Amino acid sequence: MLDPLAMLMPPPVERPLRPALFIDKDGTLIENVPYNADPALLRFMPGAGEALTRLQRTGIALVIVTNQSGLARGYFTRAQFARLQQALLQRLQQEFGVAIDGFEVCPHAAGAEGRPGCLCRKPAPGMLIRAAHRHGLDLSRSWMVGDILDDVEAGHRAGAGGLLFDSGGETTWRRSPLREPDAVFTDWAAVADHIEQALQTATGDARWNPHGTAPSNASTLNA
């Protein structure tokens, strides 16, 4: 039987899914200090805050995704890491006016031969997929940026683009199709340029995807 009150209610409005930039923390957003939980040691990578300010103006979601095996290894506690996370988010807001939309953490150690022992540790895509469900994100119009090929692979496994921020973190260079970056960058301004251009291209073009051709200020890796 039809509910007459329900018939008077307007249909629910579905919010469109947003594109996102998934950001690795150590070696990409901030300088890599292994297993650090001390907020005093936080140092942003040059140009990172300014680039995120630019990208935030486009309406893209900004989500940090980070492997933190130090939790599993007992190098720091969840409370200590929570203080570091809070300090990082506060500094982004206070120094650059950047509000991070999500912060995903994998607390597990790597499995055998360095492969993920869980569904969330990069290069597995679990953190990206979880964030997409939580925040209404369109993975097919999103990117993962990080300093190692595990970040690139996680992005591709999630159906997003994979960008390598080559700050020296990658030392193994284990290659496979999923680990081939869509573009390689050495500075954050070029990352912002790349994404802004892609978002502009996407306007009125349903065929666009984040695996497209990199602009002239980005480089690509050869197999």
CB atoms under 10 Å from CB of 175, counted, come to 11
Q: Which of 24, 101, 150, 182 is catalytic?
A: 24
What CA–CA distance (Å, rounded) separates 34 from 73?
13
Q: Which of 3, 26, 182, 193 is catalytic?
A: 26
Phi, psi (rounded to 5 degrees) for 192:
-65, -40
Residue pair 124/142 in contact by the 8 Å Cβ criterion: no
Q: Could you give the 3-state DSSP secondary structure of residue 191?
A: helix
Catalytic annotation present for 26: yes
Q: How far is CA 135 from CA 15, 51, 138, in A?
A: 11, 22, 9
What CA–CA distance (Å, rounded) separates 213 from 223?
16
Catalytic annotation present for 182: no
HSE-up of residue 165 (Cα within 13 Å, Cβ side): 29
What CA–CA distance (Å, rounded) separates 23 from 9?
40
Active site amino acids: 24, 26
